Amino acid sequence: MKKLLFLNAFLLTFIFIFHGCVNKQNNTKSIQQKNIDSKQIPSGTFTIDLEKSNIEWIGKKPTGTHDGTVNVSKGFIELNEKGEITNGEFILDMNSISCSDLQGKKKESLELHLKDADFFNTEEHPISTFKIIEADSDTIYGTLTIKGITQKIQFPYKESIYNNKDTTALTYAAEIIVDRTLFDIKYSSKTFFPDIGDRFIYDDFTIILNPLLFK
């Protein structure tokens, strides 16, 4: 009987010790995870990864939409010691603009039209530039230059951070609504040609950062 009581007491003691160890491990793991999540982003200048960055565009008209891509030729972003965006710039190669929803001669025709004087006039203005002035936790403020015309712009964004032993990678995703008429792109705009009927193209088009990756 004494042996049985001793054995039961021993088992209860073992269970309490084991349970305490497990809880301690779980709590330690939770604390470590919080430390990792709250780790500050390294400050400095990050350069855009051209191969892993993607910019898309969408233009709309009453009868449908067109979409495509445009390449980034170079870019950078700067963060301070708090991980806040303080400066940045990326440059678009406007001669790389392409249409994704058409094929063959229709695709070629639209791409050539986008590059001519009705739209981006890439012969005279081969690049477009976005410069960051400042940013808070969810909005970027800056200037956009298209066809040599600069306008202030702001848009919400999402930031993701990837840390490994040697490097930190940052990605930025956003949808930017741009009024093309502010950059002297008035072709088939109902604002300037009210009698055009339903053959107009909406003034606003969308630039999608999907995403931009910096290292």
CATH number for the domain spanning 125: value is 2.40.128.110
- What's the average model confidence in pLDDT over 187-212? 97
Q: List the domain range (segments joined by +) for residue 32.
A: 1-39
* Residue bearing the bigger pLDDT, 82 or 29: 82
For residue 82, pLDDT beyond 70: yes
Task: Pull the structure tokens for residue 55.
Answer: 């910019």
CA-based end-to-end distance of the chain? 70
Dump pLDDT digits (tens) for 159-168. 999 887 778 8
- Determine the Cα–Cα distance for residues 123 and 128; give it in Å rounded to an integer: 12
Do 24 and 56 lie in one domain? The reply is no
8 A C-beta contact, residue 204 and residue 167: no
Give the pLDDT confidence score for residue 40 in this predicted structure: 55
For residue 7, pLDDT beyond 50: no
Determine which helix (DSSP H) or strand (DSSP E) holds 13, and give its type and residue range.
Answer: helix 2-37
For residue 4, pLDDT beyond 70: no
The residues that bridge with 102 in the sheet, in sequence order, are none
- pTM recorded for the entire structure: 0.80
Determine which helix (DSSP H) or strand (DSSP E) holds 192, and give its type and residue range.
Answer: none
Do 4 and 53 lie in one domain? The reply is no
Do 91 and 27 lie in one domain? The reply is no
Dump pLDDT digits (tens) for 26-78. 443 333 333 333 345 778 999 999 999 999 999 999 999 999 999 999 999 99
Torsion sign, CA atoms 75, 145, 148, 190: positive
Do 31 and 84 lie in one domain? The reply is no
Do 9 and 94 lie in one domain? The reply is no
Do 105 and 22 lie in one domain? The reply is no
Number of domains in the chain: 2
Report the share of the chain in percent with pLDDT over 70: 81
How much is the mean pLDDT over the chain? 86
For residue 184, pLDDT beyond 90: yes
Give the pLDDT confidence score for residue 168 in this predicted structure: 86
Do 15 and 79 lie in one domain? The reply is no
Give the pLDDT confidence score for residue 163 in this predicted structure: 84
Report the share of the chain in percent with pLDDT over 90: 76
> Strand 139-146 relative to strand 85-99: parallel, antiparallel, unpaired?
unpaired
Do 156 and 62 lie in one domain? The reply is yes
